[in-house]
Amino acid sequence: MSETIIRIEHLCKTFGTGDGKVEALTDISLDIRKGEIFGIIGLSGAGKSTLVRCINLLERPTSGTVTFDGQELTGLKEKDLRAARHKMSMIFQGFNLLMQRTALENICFPLELNGLRGEKNWREKRAKELLDIVGLPDKADAYPVQLSGGQKQRIAIARALADNPQVLLCDEATSALDPTTTQSILDLLKKINREMGVTVVVITHEMRVVEQICDRVAILDHGVIQEQGDVSEIFTDPKTEAGKRLVMPGGEKIHVLPANRLVRLAFNGATSGEPIIATLAAQQGICLNIISADTRTIGDKSFGTMVLGLPQDETEAARALIYLREIPGVTAEEVTDLVQ
């Protein structure tokens, strides 16, 4: 069994006081091992971002301890904490690049800040190595506005790696990206983990992200860790209600509609989800229920999947299926595997 790099013990975090008091995290205990990819999954508002900010103490826990590589961070003064923080870096959903700086200058930025001034030439050499690692050797002089979402996240990853961190904390790092780009960023995180030995903590609401790259996972629900363990175990046999809700999306609601046939729509970004249902209702008089949706809309395009309940009436159901199958950019298939 490998060594623990981050140990969280009985951590609580409360915001505000009195009536405005929010208990964001309750009695969190977790061990993250050196060299693994650890996932923390939960719905929006579960406390994921708060937890990740408590790990590097951007947020002071109300109680409990965080120990990093044998050093109790919660016991450190701000000055000593700064040094420890350099060993962990973070990437975000919104990339957080400096818009006035080129890709290369963005990557150099933490090296300047951290007092690793050295020679400007040295910093630039390091930044170029990192551009190679993230697969964008020709984007040194590009400004963020000239880059796609996936490219911006690659630059943010390069910047996060500049100072050789031991841990990379990823807060919804792929949540603003389409499925193909998500896949390529996940592959990159995996490569960084395997080849550079960086421990990766992945915070997400997307189960397929955890499924694809994490070794172990913790399920966070309303500020409480409901269960944790190997991804293969938790995802095939969740023990808690919160685990089941996350791992078998739609499973709950489907029990309410046992008689309905279901269709799963996969969106590849060519079209948008909601109007399809509205159009079917308005033009064909056919009402479909949204059973579950894991789609993301960017502009007027949707990505991801949606499960719809077909009408009870067989003729209407058949008409709906024909209509859905003809929409460009949408794959529609009937599903039976979601029903118990």
Ligand X SMILES: Nc1ncnc2c1ncn2[C@@H]1O[C@H](COP(=O)(O)OP(=O)(O)O)[C@@H](O)[C@H]1O
| Residue bearing tokens 């050093």 | 71
Shortest Å distance, C-beta 295 to ligand X: 18
Q: How many residues contact ligand X, by CB under 6 A?
A: 12
| Residues in contact with 87: Cβ distance below 8 Å, sequence separation at least 6, in sequence order | 68, 69, 165, 166, 167
Q: Name the binder of 256 from Mg ion, ligand X, none, CB < 5-8 A by kind.
A: none
Binders of Mg ion among 172-231, rule CB under 5 A?
A: none
Query: Which of 157, 176, 179 lies closest to 168, judged by CA?
Result: 157
Q: How many residues contact Mg ion, by CB under 5 A?
A: 2
Binding to Mg ion by residue 50, rule CB under 5 A?
Answer: no
| Residue bearing tokens 């948008």 | 272
Nearer to ligand X, 223 or 250 (CB): 223
Distance CA 68, CA 51 (A): 14
DSSP character at residue 148? -
Shortest Å distance, C-beta 50 to ligand X: 3
70-79: b (≥16 Cβ within 10 Å) or e: eeebbebeee
166-187: b (≥16 Cβ within 10 Å) or e: bbbbbbbbbbbbbbebbbebbe
Binding to Mg ion by residue 49, rule CB under 5 A?
Answer: yes
Binding to ligand X by residue 48, rule CB under 6 A?
Answer: yes
Nearer to ligand X, 203 or 291 (CB): 203
Binder among 1, 18, 19, 44 for ligand X (CB under 6 A): 44
Q: Name the binder of 121 from Mg ion, ligand X, none, CB < 5-8 A by kind.
A: none
Distance CA 91, CA 73 (A): 20
Nearer to ligand X, 169 or 320 (CB): 169
Binding to ligand X by residue 42, rule CB under 6 A?
Answer: yes
Q: Name the binder of 46 from Mg ion, ligand X, none, CB < 5-8 A by kind.
A: ligand X
Distance CA 81, CA 38 (A): 23
Q: Concatenate the DSSP letters of all residues of 110-170 into one string.
A: HHHHTT----HHHHHHHHHHHHHHTT-TT-TT--GGGS-HHHHHHHHHHHHHTT--SEEEE
Nearer to Mg ion, 88 or 203 (CB): 203
Binding to ligand X by residue 49, rule CB under 6 A?
Answer: yes
Binding to ligand X by residue 39, rule CB under 6 A?
Answer: no
Q: Name the binder of 122 from Mg ion, ligand X, none, CB < 5-8 A by kind.
A: none
Distance CA 52, CA 24 (A): 12
Residues that bind Mg ion (CB under 5 A): 48-49
Residues that bind ligand X (CB under 6 A): 15-16, 22, 24, 42, 44-50
